[in-house]
Amino acid sequence: MKLHELTIHEAAAMLAKKEISVPELCRAVFERIEAVEPQVDAYITVTKEQAEARAEAVQQEINRGEAGPLAGIPLAVKDLICTRGVRTTCASRMLKDFTPPYNACVMEKLEASGAVMTGKANMDEFAMGSSTENSAFKTTKNPWDPSRVPGGSSGGSAAAVAADLCLGALGSDTGGSIRQPASHCGVVGIKPTYGRVSRYGLVAFASSLDQIGPIAKDVTDAALLLREIAGYDPRDSTSVDMAVPDYAAALTGDVAGLKIGIPAEYHQAAGMDREVSAAVNRAVTVFRDAGAELVDISLPHTDYSVAAYYLIAPAEASSNLARYDGVKYGFRDPESSGLLDMYKNTRSSGFGPEVKRRILLGTYALSAGYYDAYYKKASQVRTLIKQDFAGAFASCDVILAPVAPTPAFQLGENTDDPLQMYLSDVFTLSANLAGIPGLSVPCGFSRQGLPIGLQLMGNYFAEASILKAARFYEQQAGVFRKRPNISGT
């Protein structure tokens, strides 16, 4: 039994029965990190010393019978979630030395539930990207094929989970940044309903779209993690005051009578890889054979989601990232004559090319004379995309779709053409624009052995429905039991 291969629910059961100890479990995970991390590069910061001290303390809590639901579980955290005393870089030179003086709401919750942080996971700079190649510090490799990207922007979190460099992880999803890397790395990831999880302490990219969520080895683990991080927080004025259900208890495995919507626009999209299409179609059959009812639905504005998203998200980003001015925190260019010069030099050498591109695009879309044609127009189309989903959920409970049009692409394949990279987000952006929850669960492998993810989207706050459907599928398909063939040198 290799302890780092355990799921969260398996490890929690063994810890509760005292079959293993927290220090033992953490030691196994850090030994795995030492052996395999040089090939994967999933972490920006590994917090081994803090974790060792914390492991001892949590074991004491377990011994006293005061253990929380995640007591002793080693978790990785995407490096844009503020962690008190542990630097939080957003994979940017701008925040290379930023050490938050406070914890994000989700970190307070994880601490209260007994989790042990293993480190801060790599990502695209400020979460802008679909491959984690935009990190200023390192390139994360896909554990299933190190010549390929892990997806992004939460690529470090997904790769760490897939390579057993932690038992689970937190990511964030603004346009697919949890679901797409989960799909490419063969793990489970869920983007909750907008407002379900507090964004307090999440470094902002596009505030009306950002949402924190779990990446895990199986659906049960994703459900356990989501329950711990969800809930109302008055410090995030967009968080919603609604009771958090016991998601794991909803995983009954029964889908008889469940109405599954099949959106024509997703399944007949141009540029769809045939193997992805085939894997998703096989999943449809699995649901149908179990007594689920398939419903043909239409989401007619799907084809406009990339255009709407790549105006709205950069517009919000250009405003949010105005705060990086070299004054209050982060990098300052030392070679400056005067204040304006300092602002410009700082931002020009602190931000990487993709972040600058999006700031420029967003500033343009908001600037005088262009606001109505770009930002306002995109916001109106956002309304239509929302209405598409409202119409669809009138006739189905869950929407089934691909996550990404292709399996993980080669490192460097899409870096010269930003628009090409944006187009690969076509299936995930709409859920963020509408605010609904969506998840990715493994549904097969390409002939080259690359994982393929299945997307399930639900109505507002219907996380339990999509998790339940995903758990049923996972039990039937058993795809998650395969592991990447990556071992220490």
Partner 1 sequence: MKISREEVLHVAHLARLNIGDGEIDPLCGQLGSILEYVEKLSGIDTSAVAPTAHAMEMANAFRKDETGRHLENQQALANGPDAEAGHFIVPKVIE
Q: Toward partner 1, which CB reaches closer, 150 or 195? A: 195
Q: Give the interface segment with partner 1, choosing from 135-143, 358-366, 439-447, 478-486 (CB under 8 A).
A: 358-366
206 binds partner 1 (CB under 8 A): no
Q: Are 178 and 189 in contact (CB under 8 A)?
A: yes
Q: Which is nearer to partner 1, 284 or 307 (CB)?
A: 307
Report helix, strand or coil for 81. strand
Q: Which of 177, 183, 318, 424 is catalytic?
A: 177
What's the CA gap between 379 and 396, in Å, rounded? 26
Question: Within its chain, how far is the Cα of 191 from the centroid?
Answer: 7
Q: Per CB under 8 A, does 344 bind partner 1?
A: yes
Tokens of 266: 């997703």
Which among 21, 78, 109, 446 is annotated as catalytic? Answer: 78
Judged by CB under 8 A, the residue of 189, 435, 438, 451 near partner 1 is 435
Site for partner 1 contains 205 (CB under 8 A): no
In total, the chain counts a number of residues equal to 489
User: Which region among 4-12, 62-70, 230-238, 445-453 touches partner 1 (by CB under 8 A)?
Assistant: 230-238
From 21, 130, 153, 446, active-site residue: 153
In angstroms, the CA 158 to CA 122 distance is 10
Interface with partner 1, residue 326, by CB under 8 A: yes
Asked if residue 472 binds partner 1 (CB under 8 A), the reply is no
For partner 1 (CB under 8 A), the number of binding residues is 73
What are the backbone dihedrals phi and psi of residue 221, each rounded to the nearest 5 degrees, phi first? -65, -40
Q: Does 243 bind partner 1 (CB under 8 A)?
A: no
Question: Rounded to an integer, what distance in angstroms lies between the CA atom of residue 199 and that of residue 159?
Answer: 23
Residue 200 binds partner 1 (CB under 8 A):
no
Work out the number of other CB atoms within 10 angstroms of the CB of residue 14: 18
The dihedral built from the CA positions of residue 333, 338, 339 and 340, taken in this order, carries a sign that is: negative
Does 422 help bind partner 1 (rule: CB under 8 A)? Answer: yes
Tokens of 232: 């109302």
- CB closer to partner 1, 1 vs 419: 419
* Sign of the alpha-carbon torsion through 280, 285, 290, 296: positive
By CB under 8 A, the residues from 303 to 322 that bind partner 1 are 303-304, 306-308, 310-311, 318, 322
Q: Nearer to partner 1 by C-beta: 93 or 344?
A: 344
Told to check if 339 binds partner 1 by CB under 8 A, we report yes
CA gap 404, 280 in Å, rounded: 11
Options 165-173, 268-276, 361-369, 448-456: segment touching partner 1 (CB under 8 A): 361-369
Contact 91, 125 (CB under 8 A): yes
Active site residue 344: no
Q: At a CB cut-off of 8 Å and minimum separation 6, what does 459 contact?
A: 389, 393, 397, 436, 465
204 vs 240, beta carbon nearer partner 1: 240
Closer of 266 and 422 to partner 1 (Cβ): 422
User: Of these, 284, 325, 406, 462, which contacts partner 1 (CB under 8 A)?
Assistant: 325
Binds partner 1 by CB under 8 A, chosen from 39, 139, 336, 415: 336
Q: b/e string for 402-433 if b means 16 or more Cβ within 10 A? A: bbbbbbbbebebbbeebeebbbbbbbbbbbbb
Question: Is position 93 an interface residue for partner 1 (rule: CB under 8 A)?
Answer: no
Q: Is 153 a catalytic residue?
A: yes
Catalytic residue flag (residue 348): no
Query: Which residues carry out catalysis?
Result: 78, 153, 177
